[in-house]
């Protein structure tokens, strides 16, 4: 039984105006995944966002490091627009709330 580790989840995707460098036909779709550390399947904190492109015509998927420098720069520039949902901090928020609860209870004694 795995009680802690890392997982990857799909975050978001959107269309771009960039054409596929492989088939020169399709407009590339840009997708982002997030990596996070979990304990008992509760996300503790995210540690990496990765961008990748997929061509709707030839279905070629390229990670950011496989792309031409200008496409890689575009992906990295868009990365800051993709917000990390607060749910990926659920474990830290839970621990913070627990510590706050213990502190408040001890102050009231
Ligand atoms: Zn293509």
Confidence (pLDDT) at 93 = 95
Distance 55 CA to ligand 1 centre (A): 5
Residue with tokens 């990857």: 8
Distance 11 CA to ligand 1 centre (A): 22
- Residues 6 or more apart whose Cβ sits within 8 Å of residue 5: 37, 38
Neighbours of ion ligand 1 (CB under 5 A): 20, 22-23, 26, 55, 57-58
pTM of the model: 0.77
Which residue from 65, 69, 63 is spatially nearest to 28, judged by alpha carbons? 63
Across the beta sheet with 4-19, the strand order is 4-19, 27-39, 42-54, 61-63
Q: Mean pLDDT, to the nearest integer, of 50-59?
A: 91
Beta-bridge partners for 31:
13, 52
Q: Mean pLDDT, to the nearest integer, of 55-74?
A: 87
Beta-bridge partners for 27:
19
pLDDT at 49 > cutoff 70: yes
């Amino acid at each position: 039984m795995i009680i802690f580790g890392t997982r990857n989840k799909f975050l978001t995707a959107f269309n771009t105006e960039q054409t596929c460098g492989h088939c020169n036909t399709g407009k590339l779709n840009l997708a982002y995944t997030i990596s996070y550390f979990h304990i008992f399947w509760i996300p503790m904190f995210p540690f990496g966002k990765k961008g990748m492109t997929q061509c709707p015509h030839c279905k070629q998927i390229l990670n950011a490091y496989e792309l031409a420098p200008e496409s890689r720069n575009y992906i990295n520039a868009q990365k800051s627009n993709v917000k990390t949902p607060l749910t990926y901090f659920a474990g830290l928020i839970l621990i913070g709330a627990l510590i706050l609860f213990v502190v408040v209870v001890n102050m009231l004694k």
